[in-house]
Amino acid sequence: MLKTIRAVAQRPNASRWLAATAGLALGLAAAMPAQAQDTIKVGVLHSLSGTMAISETTLKDVVLMLIEEQNKKGGLLGKKLEAVVVDPASNWPLFAEKARELITKDKVAAVFGCWTSVSRKSVLPVFKELNGLLFYPVQYEGEESERNVFYTGAAPNQQAIPAVDYLMSKDGGEAKRWVLAGTDYVYPRTTNKILEAYLKSKGVKDEDIMINYTPFGHADFQTIVADIKKFGTAGKKTAVVSTINGDANVPFYKELGNQGIKATDIPVVAFSVGEEELAGLDTKPLLGHLAAWNYFQSDPAPINKEFIAKWHAFTKNPKRTTNDPMEAHVIGFAMWVEAVKKAGSTDPDKVIDAIVGVKVPNLSGGTSEMLANHHITKPVFIGEVRADGQFDVVWKTPGLVPGDAWSKYLPESKDLIGDWKDKKCGNYNTVTKKCGSGA
Amino acid sequence: MRALYGRLRALAVAFGLLLAAAAANAQSFDEALTGFTADSFSDTENAIGAVARSGNARAADVIAALQDGRLLFDPDGKKVYIKEKDDRIAEAATGQAVAGAPANLRPVRLNNRLRRAVEAALGGLSLFAEDPGRRFDAAQAVFKSRDEAALPALESALAKEAEPWVKTALAEARAAVVLNMSGASEADKLAAIPAIRARGDQDSVALLAGLPANTPPAVTKAANDAIASIQSSLEVWSAVQNAWYGLSLGSVLLLAAIGLAITFGVMGVINMAHGEMVMLGAYTTFVVQEVIRAYNPGLFGYSVVIAVPLAFAVSGSIGVLIERGIIRFLYGRPLETLLATWGLSLILQQAVRTAFGPTNRDVGSPSWMSGAFDVGQLNITYNRLWIICFSLAVFVGLLGLLRFTRFGLEMRAVTQNRPMAASMGIRTGRIDALAFGLGSGIAGIAGVALSQIDNVSPNLGQGYIIDSFMVVVFGGVGNLWGTLLGAFTLGIANKFLEPYAGAVLGKIAILVLIILFIQKRPRGLFALRGRAVEA
């Protein structure tokens, strides 16, 4: 708790300092020869410093790579693409400032950015007011559909629900008892609410669900792991669904390994642990623990092999991992390019109209489509941690899963849909036939 | 004569049957192995069962190889190979090394369900192993799998077993099998319960709570009684466990705070960059391990020990630089010191991020720091145990340094009365720099220990700075004993609150308690008395 207070206290200073630096950099950039006349600008809004830099830096690199590639193909509408990279420094209010700057000052055609839900929520009003386009690449809690935002990451029904289905299946171990462990903020809380409702609809009793939250940056998981161990000895097969965020996963997994909880006893399926997070861990004790994603680096599809080769060449580092949000940017970028070609213009209104229904190849060999609710169709994979820190896909959904903006399992959102094609509404109530939430 | 002939014929038939059986056995083993080449989980599962039942001498080796991911298959030639520990490729069926193994060998894949099947099969197969440790593991595996088929083997193993601890495990495994067997009599089941009750851990509760539906009522009742008695003893153990977790958290707090007890507690410098000194120590450990991996992997077990003095040197010298370069101009101006050191902490973080990248770095644990052992029902992990010992050693060392060395004496003199110390001929500026270096160096040492339990990332230090200040303020500024007591009090209080209030509320409760405590005793647990304080 104190951490938060301190974090808040330090932010204004950090932002000022960084804003000054960034402003200087931008000023310099502006002073460069004005060759920017015939380029299309693409904004990259990912934190390059602060706590989220660990995850977001990679996404900035991937957008730069995609832009470079598109330029090699001759650009877009006969113009070259130009990246405008800003650093919101893991500071939520600064995200909004930077977004405004990108749209009004740099006049970018589209923005690729944000990681945490709170950063997305903070830029939302800006994109609505200025009619910008945001491609958001990270799995999130759902319950949102905005005209100006395209959600290329997974909605809960594209990650959490299939993962639970897998654990309930014979191959997954027929789990009967559930621990929902998460970091205390909006994504885990909403996801766990949906999962709880879903589990209950499948006949799981209250006493067979344990929900546990930890503060941000929690490093001491001894008690929680011991509790999980204890919960798992009630004579029913137990599984853990972890929405523990980013960095806190390392101490959590270390403690699991140390206390000898093996995946054969209590499997842990995580929604925020990818190849990148495992890179900081000795994965041998984690063998068999699970992750649910729409993409794994180990996917054998030729298009993925090709992508990884390009990524390694671009970063000049043959060890750089790839992960799910990167794939989301690849899909989102390709969709935007297609939509701009279709519309013949980068005008946001035209692109928004053109993009629904656009189909582009994803990196697992299939085709993803942009839906009317601004979410996309994706395959869902369950991977098991291998000894080399990669994942072995042990299960996948039979086909592509369309993203649900509003969860069917929550009473307050079960009648809502997002439809930006016909209804022009993000929260259309199918029962009252009215636009506007209020179930 | 006829009788003899008849007997001979019977013998011949029996012999023939035996041969046929042996051939069938070999054939079924080979056939079973082919099941591994299908690359489908259900075929692999059948193959595991068939290999385990084949009775072939190679079965245990094959299953063990499968468990370690060393069982390879050739998808074209439909043959199965084992990668031996020394990287040689051998044929799985015969165990003979092959010279020109096919190039496209792939490991047989497992999922958790199959891993459980593998453990169960291996348990049944290694009940008669030479090594008592392996027999013990086998008994534990059978206890978990409760596989009826293992019962005959279990009973003969039980009869042969000489080691008492393995024998107990075997008896527990047998009891577990009997309790889950539909064919066993009520009396047998009742007789099995005491063995499980004596085991008395959470697995026993799990076993007794999950008896099959057709269990006779008398057995269920006895099982419930046993559960109640195990639970009540587990309650006591869980209190012990909380205390242990508290000690462990306390030792981490102590390590993080003890350097600050010098720079803030003794010198009065509000050092916001303290956490970054810890982080630098952790990165030093990372670099040391990288160098060892590259040049002398044999030394890896000592990497953490080697990192301790280096981390002290790195963080300590940076501390001296900071003191000489910045802080000495700011003595007596706490707000400016706070801002300057906080800015410094941002610079250090970003510098490390630029140099090492924003992602976590993998700092390995030497083997003597991994794993756990049990004392009664208390599970003690080695890394936590070592960190407790290490933090106490650092504390004692620091106490000794302050108490018995000339430097310690001068440091105490300077902090108590600077003008007087200066007029006695002590170079106060030099002492300030060294003291700040000492505090920073100790933070670096803490980083070595924390690299074993936390992320090594540029943000490592941020997570500890507030806790460190909390400990120092709570314990009483300027008193090392206060820091020790403060750290352990906060650690234990936190861990006793956590099971009831949850991690988030627990932390809030601790903060509220500290605020109330500081209202009552503004100078912390151990208040320093003397002229320096009043001044």
Give the confidence band of B49 by pLDDT, cuts at 50, 70, 90.
Answer: confident
**Given an 8 Å threshold on Cβ–Cβ distance, is B207 in contact with A235?**
yes
Burial class (CB in 10 A: 0-12, 13-18, 19+), B299: middle
The CATH superfamily assigned to A38-155+308-378 is Response regulator (3.40.50.2300)
Is the model more confident about A153 or about A15? Answer: A153
Which of the four pLDDT bands, split at 50, 70 and 90, describes residue A14?
very low
Residue A280: per-residue pLDDT: 67
Q: Write the pLDDT tens digit of every residue in B169-185.
A: 888 988 888 888 887 88
Confidence (pLDDT) at A400: 93
Interface of B with A in 54-113 (CB under 8 A): 69, 109-113
Residue A371 structure tokens: 């839906």
Separation of alpha carbons B29 and B24, rounded Å: 8
* Residue of B205, B361, B511 lying closest to A2 (CB–CB): B511
Residues 6 or more apart from B106 whose CB is under 8 A from it? Answer: B39, B72, B73, B75
DSSP class per residue in B174-194: HHHHHHT-SSS-HHHHHHHHH
Beta strands (DSSP E) in B214-289 are: none
pLDDT above 50: residue A58: yes
pLDDT score at B72: 86
- Would you call B202 an interface residue with chain A, using a CB distance cutoff of 8 Å? yes
CATH class of B237-534: mainly alpha
Give the count of beta carbons closer than 10 Å to the beta carbon of residue A300: 10
Q: Show which of residues 508-527 on chain B sit within 8 Å of chain A, judged by CB atoms.
A: 508, 511
Asked whether the beta carbons of residue A171 and residue B41 sit closer than 8 angstroms, the reply is: yes
- Does A17 contact B at CB distance below 8 Å? yes
Q: Which tokens go with B153?
A: 């083997």
- How far out from the chain centre does Cα B427 lie? 47
Give which of A295, A273, A317 is closest to A55, Cα–Cα. Answer: A273
CB within 8 Å: B463 and A3? yes
pLDDT tens sequence across B449-485: 999 888 888 888 888 888 899 999 898 877 889 999 9
Query: Given an 8 Å threshold on Cβ–Cβ distance, is A258 in contact with B358?
Result: no
Question: Residue A61: pLDDT above 90?
Answer: yes
pLDDT of residue B535: 41
Q: Best interface-test mutation with B: which of A10, A15, A54, A180 has the largest number of B CBs within 10 A?
A: A54
Q: How far apart are CA B196 and CA B404, in angstroms?
A: 56
The domain spans of chain A are 38-155+308-378, 157-299+380-402
Are residues B354 and B476 in contact, defined by beta-carbon separation less than 8 angstroms? no
The answer to whether A260 contacts B210, with C-beta atoms less than 8 Å apart, is no
Mean pLDDT calculated for residue range B95-99 = 79
CB atoms within 10 A of CB A184: 17
* Cα separation, A103 vs A148, whole angstroms: 13
3-state secondary structure labels for all residues of B452-502? CCCCECCCCCHHHHHHHHHHHHHHCCCCHHHHHHHHHHHHHHHHHHHHHHH
* Contact residues, chain B, for A230 at CB < 8 Å: 202, 238
Mean pLDDT of the B369-388 span: 86
Selected residue with higher pLDDT from A63 and B261? A63
Q: How far apart are CA A108 and CA B404, in angstroms?
A: 67
Q: How many C-beta neighbours within 10 Å does residue B422 have?
A: 15
- Does residue A35 have a pLDDT over 90? no
Buried b (16+ CB within 10 A) or exposed e, A253-262: bbbbbbbebb
Q: Does B229 touch chain A (CB under 8 A)?
A: no
Q: Is B455 on the interface with A (CB under 8 A)?
A: yes
Selected residue with higher pLDDT from A89 and B316: B316
Rg value, chain A, Cα: 22
B236 versus A24: which is more confidently predicted? B236
Q: Is the pLDDT of residue A373 over 90?
A: yes
For residues B24 and B55, the answer to whether their CB atoms sit within 8 Å is: no
Closest CA to A426 of A367, A368, A363, A352: A352
Are B358 and A234 an interchain contact pair (Cβ–Cβ within 8 Å)?
no
Looking at beta carbons, which residues of chain B come within 8 Å of A1?
Answer: 504, 507-508, 511
Range name among A119-123, B85-89, B108-112, B462-466 with the lowest pLDDT average: B85-89
B519 vs B306: CA distance, rounded Å:
44
All residues of chain B having their beta carbon less than 8 Å from the beta carbon of residue A46 are none
pLDDT (0 to 100) of residue B25: 59
Q: Give how far B33 is from chain A: nearest CA, Å.
A: 21
Over 70: is that where the pLDDT of A357 sits?
yes
Banded model confidence at residue B310, pLDDT cuts 50, 70, 90: very high
How high does pLDDT run on average in chain B?
A: 85
pLDDT of amino acid B248:
92
Distance CA A159, CA A290 (A): 12
Strand partners, A270: A242, A291
pLDDT at A31: 43
**Cα of B187 to nearest chain A Cα, Å:** 23
The per-residue pLDDT for A45 is 96
User: Are A264 and B498 within 8 A, CB to CB?
Assistant: no
Q: Give the model confidence (pLDDT) of A205-245 as tens digits.
A: 999 999 999 987 788 898 899 889 888 887 788 999 999 88
The per-residue pLDDT for A23 is: 47
The whole-number average pLDDT for the span A99-116 is: 95
- Residues on chain A touching B456 (C-beta within 8 angstroms): 280
Q: Which candidate in B249, B286, B360 is best for mutational testing of the A interface (most A CBs within 10 A)? A: B360
The percent of residues in chain B predicted with pLDDT above 90, rounded, is: 30
Q: What is the pTM assigned to this prediction?
A: 0.81
Cβ contact A223–B245 (<8 Å): yes
What is the reported pLDDT for B26?
Answer: 59
| Chain B environment of A229 (Cβ under 8 Å) | 202
Q: Which amino acid is at A97?
A: E
- Note whether A405 and A418 are within 8 A (CB): yes
Q: Residue A12 has what pLDDT?
A: 43
pLDDT at A364 over 70: yes
Interface check B146 vs A, CB under 8 A: no
- A38-155+308-378 and A157-299+380-402, same CATH topology: yes
B495: contact with A, CB 8 A cutoff: yes
- For an interface test with B, give the residue of A1, A180, A216 to mutate (most B CBs within 10 A): A1
Quick one: average pLDDT of A298-302? Answer: 91
Alpha helix ranges (H) inside B35-56: 41-54
State the best of A61, A258, A395 to mutate against chain B, taking most chain B CBs within 10 Å: A258
Give the 3-state secondary structure percentages of chain B, helix then strand then coil, rounded to 5.
75, 5, 20
pLDDT for B316 beyond 80? yes
Question: What are the structural domain ranges in chain B?
Answer: 2-114, 126-215, 237-534
Q: What is the pLDDT of residue B144?
A: 82
Q: State how far Cα B329 lies from the chain centre.
A: 45
Facing B202 at nearest CB: one of A3, A220, A233: A233
CA distance B227 to B206: 9
Per-residue confidence (pLDDT) for residue B404, from 0 to 100: 94
DSSP class of residue B378 equals: E
pLDDT score for B414: 86
Percent of chain A with pLDDT over 90: 60
pLDDT at B423 over 80: yes
Q: Which of B111, B206, B462 sits opposite A234 (nearest CB)?
A: B206
Helices B202-209 and B217-260 cross at an angle (nearest 10°) of: 150
Q: Is B249 on the interface with A (CB under 8 A)?
A: yes
Fold classification of A157-299+380-402 is Rossmann fold (3.40.50)
pLDDT given at position B13: 54
DSSP A161-226: HHHHHHHHSTTTT---EEEEEEESSHHHHHHHHHHHHHHHHTT--GGGEEEEEE-TT----HHHHH
Q: Work out the average pLDDT over B302-314.
A: 95
CA distance B7 to chain A (A): 53
CB-CB: which of B211, B241, B459 is closest to A226? B241
Q: What is the pLDDT of residue B205?
A: 85
Dmax (CA) of chain B = 124
For the ranges A124-133, A278-287, B119-128, the lowest mean pLDDT is seen at A278-287
- pLDDT at position A182 is 92
